[in-house]
Amino acid sequence: MKLKYFAWVRERIGMAEETIEPPATVRTVEELIAWLSGRGEAYAYAFEKPKVIRAAIDHAHVRPDAAIAGAREIAFFPPMTGG
């Protein structure tokens, strides 16, 4: 699946997007965040406060307990500040 990062999440991780294959044991958005956090310092820094991170699956906002099965694109970003 493709992961996309925006705003300071993108800056902390150091890239805008990547393609990953998480293990089958990673079933939800919060489990994906925990798994990503173990991939290195940059990820751990980006996801240091998981409650602040918002996620979207295939362009729709989702909660941390949302299942990631079948997702094509998962995005992580801080709370929105447009308008």
Partner 1 sequence: MTSPVTTCPVTIRIQDDDFDIAREIAVLTKSRTDIGAVVSFSGICRADEDSSKISALTLEHYPGMAEDEIKRHVDEAVSRWPLNGVTIIHRVGRFMPGQNIVLVLTASQHRKAAFEAAEFLMDYLKTSAPFWKKEESATGTGWVEAQARDDEAAARWTRS
The region of 5-13, 27-35, 39-47, 63-71 touching partner 1 under the rule CB under 8 A is: 5-13
Assigned token pair, 33: 């965040």
Is there binding between residue 4 and partner 1 (CB under 8 A)?
yes
Residue written as tokens 């094509």?
A: 72
Q: Which residues pair with 2 in a beta bridge?
A: 19, 73
Question: Which amino acid type is present at position 48?
Answer: E
Judging by DSSP bridges, how do beta strands 2-5 and 73-77 pair with one another? parallel
Name which of residues 20 to 79 contact partner 1 (CB under 8 A). Answer: 56, 59-61, 75, 77-79
Based on CB atoms, which residue is closest to partner 1, 23 or 59?
Answer: 59
User: Where along the sequence are the contacts to partner 1 (CB under 8 A)?
Assistant: 4, 6-8, 56, 59-61, 75, 77-83
